[in-house]
Amino acid sequence: MNPGPSTRFGLVAAGALSTVLLAACGGGGSGASSDSSGETAEGYPVTVETLFGDVEIEDRPQNVAALGWSDAETALALGVQPVGVADWQDYGGAGVGPWAADLFDSEPTQLGTMEPNIEAIASLDPDVILDTRSDNSQDRHDLLSPVAPVVGPPPEVEVTYGTTWQQQTRQVAQVLGEEERGEELVTELEGRFEELRGDNPEFADLTIAVGAYFDGQYGAYVPGDTRVDVLTELGFEYKPELVEMADGAFYTDLSAELVEELDADLTIVFPIGDAETTAFLKEDPVLQGIGSAEAGRLIVLDDPELANAFSSGSTLGINHALDEIVPIIRDTLEG
């Protein structure tokens, strides 16, 4: 989700448009090196389990196309610069957040998001296509597979765009031959969450709801979405009624009559649009009338960079978001 303007999405069908926007809204090496003698790199071939079956990677990838949500940022965190990326959050430039863009030596090729540019992908002659956080579509997988081996979501992922940051980090690390570094990234961020829970034990006693407003429609994210998962890893309990309403999806629409379901001990709402959307939410009597708003426990996340980092689902983006969101939450709860 890009909380700022996103003209790119005007080119896709209306249903796909909603899915993309709602799912979006938060020193690198030059690429994995292999033995210059032409021999297979140590540790290869590797077999990666995916939702669409096992994928065998014969050798350490040299040209990596990163199509899945935050696959590019994850590769960068592992020291590998993809040659092509999908700019899911409409950053422009390198197609990743500012917390990751400097890890590129040069801007990669843009490859499309919901509608991948097959010609552009093929022109890069990729050794592997990363698509580890996506819509879980067999059609998408089949479209990409003739170009190069496609590493889709892990087999246990059922919710669209539901690959966790831990799963993504480990899966991409396995593909790129950087499993040790991948475990370090997971351990470091999990340790940070543990430390933050220890510093803020009161979070564990509070319920939280995470909403969004897009194109005149309110909705709620639920566990399985990275925004919610970050907050529950901080110790909050997600409001169970919203989980039931989502019925296995990562997001559920809320009519005006149901916006009150966003009431919790703490409510965070993402404005998906422009500054006018944010201004509307801060004045909308429907949202401002819920209990948490009246009690001063509503956060309208009006900083686009923070919202994008929060939404990224990568170790780089989440770490960036935690620097800012935790103090905001503390200040809100302390009134």
Tens of pLDDT, residues 207-242: 999 999 998 999 999 998 999 999 999 999 999 999
Cα–Cα distance measured from residue 169 to residue 156, given in angstroms and rounded to the nearest whole number: 15
Half-sphere exposure of 286 (CA within 13 A, CB side): 17
One of 3.40.640.10, 3.90.1300.10, 3.40.50.1980, 1.10.10.10 is the CATH number of 32-190, namely 3.40.50.1980
The owner of tokens 């979070």 is 203
Cα–Cα distance measured from residue 107 to residue 84, given in angstroms and rounded to the nearest whole number: 9
- 192-334 has the same fold as 32-190: yes
pLDDT at position 159, please? 87
Q: Where are the domains of the chain?
A: 32-190, 192-334
- Residues (pLDDT < 70) of the chain are 1-40
Backbone angles phi, psi at 272, to 5 degrees: -100, 100
- In the chain, DSSP assigns E strands to 46-50, 53-57, 64-66, 84-85, 109-110, 128-130, 150-151, 207-214, 217-221, 237-238, 251-254, 266-272, 298-300
pLDDT at position 247, please? 76
* Residues in CB range of 109: below 8 A, 6 or more apart: 83, 84, 85, 120, 123, 124
pLDDT at position 234, please? 98
* Residues in CB range of 1: below 8 A, 6 or more apart: 20, 21, 22, 23, 24, 25, 89, 212, 270, 272, 307, 308, 311
Domain 192-334 of CATH type 3.40.50.1980: yes
> Which pLDDT tens digit goes with each residue over 293-327?
999 999 999 999 999 999 999 999 999 999 999 99
The β-bridge relationship of strands 251-254 and 217-221 is antiparallel
Please tell me the pTM assigned to this model: 0.87
pLDDT at position 253, please? 94
| Cis amide bond preceding 45, omega within 30 | yes
DSSP summary character for residue 108 = P
pLDDT at position 24, please? 53
* Sheet-wide strand order for 128-130: 109-110, 84-85, 64-66, 128-130, 150-151
Report angle CA 152, 72, 150 to the nearest 5 degrees.
25
* Residues in CB range of 117: below 8 A, 6 or more apart: 110, 111
